[in-house]
Structure 1
Amino acid sequence: MPKRLDIRLLAPSGYPDDRAAFERGVERLRAAGHRVHGEEVLERVMLRFAGSDAERAADINRFADPSQPLPDMAMAVCGGYGAIVLLEHIDFDGLARRFENESCVFVGHGDFTAIQCALYARSGILSLHGPMLVRDFGGPYLREDMWRHFWQTVLSPSTDVSWACGDDARVRVEGTLWGGNLSALCSLVGTSYLPKLDDGILYIEESGEQAWRIERMLFELKLGGALDGQRAILIGGLGGQRVSEYDNGYDIEHALQRFGQACGLPIVRGLAFGHGQDKWTLPFGAHAVLDAAGGTAHLSVMNYPYVRE
């Protein structure tokens, strides 16, 4: 890795319960030449959270404090639940002022989606929807494609992703790339923390939810106005469903088909991000061009904060 980064760890949601994976992730980052700070979040546990609400909010508000030097990157250690509780306590005005002339790359996924949405909607701060410390960098095996694409995205002003999407996808749009975990997005519907875009390319993923819950949350986005102005929807992993006898064959395919007919937007599937083991890094709030045809989709993303050499 050509540049040595200062990386600060954040735990705005659940506490990291796998100490070995935490330490393995830190060691891999340090072995790549980077400086890692904030390991004390490993020791904070309050109920199911990585510390009190005040402690976790303070971790983010330190980036608004001009007396505190900004790291190159702020990386979430894990997801869980708890980020939404912090939103009323975050100094978004102070963050907006601080980030006018300075930058720091925020990265995470899952419950961190709530923080990313709020940073963009309230402070105009872009971030990266990408791997986290414990499950991704601290896993038993490091996914080389994930690692390589993450650093390519972090260290350059543009990135590209190509994947197999199914022969029925025919899309050519451009706009603002944003999104994340479906349940986290739905938790912000009707609030000032959910971005309102008239040119959005929305990406969605979820883990461990039943097909009918997925359909209900998708319709919640639609009925709540979150899909107004969207130009296309990218669907990532939606694994973990169990089909019961009562479902009579209803599964995630039916849920997506029903939603697709109702929303009237182009839907492209197969993009790996979020909770899956393999994942691409997606710049939240950046300009993107999506092109899908002949069973292959290509996403080009540009104009987002990155770490300069």
Structure 2
Amino acid sequence: MVLTIVNQNELLLQWPIYFCPDNLPDQEVSFMDTQQNSRRNFLRAGAAFAGAGLLQACRSNPKPDVKTASTPKVPVQTNNNLNTMRIFACSGFGESVSRSELAAQRLAIAGFAVSNQQAFMRRYQRFSGSDAERAADLQDVAIGRVPVPKVLMGLRGGYGAMRILPLVNWSSLGARMREQGTLLYGYSDVTAVQLALLAQGKMCSFAGPMLYSEFGKPQMSLFTTRSFIENSCNPKMSVTVTDIQNYQIRAEGILWGGNLSVLSALAGSQFMPQVNGGILFIEDVGEQPYRIERMLQTLYLSGVLARQQAIILGNFRMGSIRDVYDSSYTLNSVIQTMARLTKVPVLTGFPFGHITDKVTFPLGAKASLYSTNNGGYQIDFSDYPVLNPSVLALNTLLPQPPAVEGLLNGSTAPASDSSSETEDTM
């Protein structure tokens, strides 16, 4: 399969639609204690009820799981867990529970047995649960408290993943994921999880769609969904960028990276991978050019950039963003400065970021990068886990007309949700 990108404003697919056949202590976390009815408990309950209004601003209570006629039958777990998916919510909470439920419904129809859905309803301050709760989404897998799923999918980005990094046994998690061939998907703030997993668990992951951010949209992106299906099922994939570059290049190494803000924040920590001779991918959103350069300078001064063979820039979604001090100082100015400083080729135009149409591709896997005859470049990926299409019906994820989408969700899709059409941000 070859995916061809014309440029950042015009996307051209060159593949047919792919139709798949039908170090946290080992302790329990108590979320709620149920007590026998007694006079003492009755009085305590009354006091708790009186103070509930004060607590509501900090934490929302999970709502009961109400089954409706439109709720699909939960897929039966296969013998080798080949269709199991566990949601992890390491960062921000999802404002709309119904949006998360719509995403889970779509994935269930596609054949996934989706677990840990209680994470949809968790909230603590700005996060999708306390640090202990969010860490447990992954740590429970690492210590064997729950079965290792075939897929670990992030809920959404935001902020908060850095706070749980010391609470997860990444070495154990990586080993269990390798044994199962687990695919972990995410981007944005989830980059912190992906970097820690690569640094300490020696396990790759996927830059790809997340449950709330993509699969919960009223109308999913056809481009993103096709790429998710294709690149999750095939053991070898390629991405071609036709934007004209300033370099002729050929390099082979581990392609890694993710969100620039998270990368620069972890520089020098034990959770930053030490990749020599690698190909570094970076993306970000809503940052002024000087801030992008400052983060790149952090990676340069910490020695990260000098160890790379190439730097690949995704879509930074600059839009109308200009340097408030000097509007002539643009992202291109930053690119020229860093290329001159590092002596490392900086390539642009890779179709990933906080954008609607994005490719799914592995982070921490082997990659071959080379220039193409038309002045662009191509990256071939290998040595990463894949889904087994024989136990899934991934073609059902392909977007349908809006009217059909409404019927699918019983006309309860969060179309009025102001965040439904915006990309997940840091």
TM-score range, shorter chain: over 0.9
2:316–2:354 contact (8 Å) kept in structure 1: no
Partner in structure 2 of residue 44 of structure 1: 122
Partner in structure 2 of residue 295 of structure 1: 375
Picking from 150, 158, 165, the partner of 1:80 is: 158
Asked if 1:61 corresponds to 2:139, the answer is yes
Deviations 1:44-77 (A, max 9, x none): 1101000000111111111113352111101001
Asked if 1:233 corresponds to 2:311, the answer is yes
Amino acid at match of 1:143: S
Runs of 4 or more above 4 Å deviation: none
Runs of 5+ consecutive residues of structure 2 not aligned to the other structure? 1-19, 23-81, 391-426
Partner in structure 2 of residue 192 of structure 1: 270
TM-score by length of 1: 0.94
Partner in structure 1 of residue 386 of structure 2: 306
Amino acid at match of 2:224: M
Bigger mean CA offset, 172-181 vs 31-40: 31-40
2:250–2:370 contact (8 Å) kept in structure 1: yes
Partner in structure 2 of residue 127 of structure 1: 205
Bigger Rg, which one: 2
The CA deviation at 1:136 is 1.4
Runs of 5+ consecutive residues of structure 1 not aligned to the other structure? none
Aligned length: 309
Asked if 1:253 corresponds to 2:253, the answer is no
The CA deviation at 1:112 is 0.5
Task: Choose between structure 1 and 2: higher strand proportion.
Answer: 1
SS at match of 1:237: coil
The CA deviation at 1:96 is 4.0
Counterparts of 1:208-227 in structure 2, within 5 Å, are 208-227=286-305
Amino acid at match of 1:301: F
Deviations 1:17-63 (A, max 9, x none): 13343233222212322222222111111010000001111111111
Asked if 1:265 corresponds to 2:344, the answer is yes
Amino acid at match of 1:249: S
Partner in structure 2 of residue 138 of structure 1: 216
Counterparts of 1:95-134 in structure 2, within 5 Å, are 95-99=173-177, 101-134=179-212
Picking from 285, 288, 292, the partner of 2:364 is: 285
Partner in structure 2 of residue 93 of structure 1: 171
The CA deviation at 1:10 is 1.0
Asked if 1:174 corresponds to 2:264, the answer is no
1:172–1:289 contact (8 Å) kept in structure 2: yes
1:21–1:135 contact (8 Å) kept in structure 2: no
The CA deviation at 1:172 is 1.3
Deviations 1:67-119 (A, max 9, x none): 52111101001000001111111112322443453332111000111110100
Partner in structure 2 of residue 27 of structure 1: 105
Q: CA RMSD in A?
A: 1.8
Bigger mean CA offset, 143-152 vs 198-207: 143-152
Amino acid at match of 1:2: P
Amino acid at match of 1:47: Q
Over the matched positions of the two proteins, sequence identity in percent amounts to 36
SS at match of 1:233: strand
Amino acid at match of 1:305: P
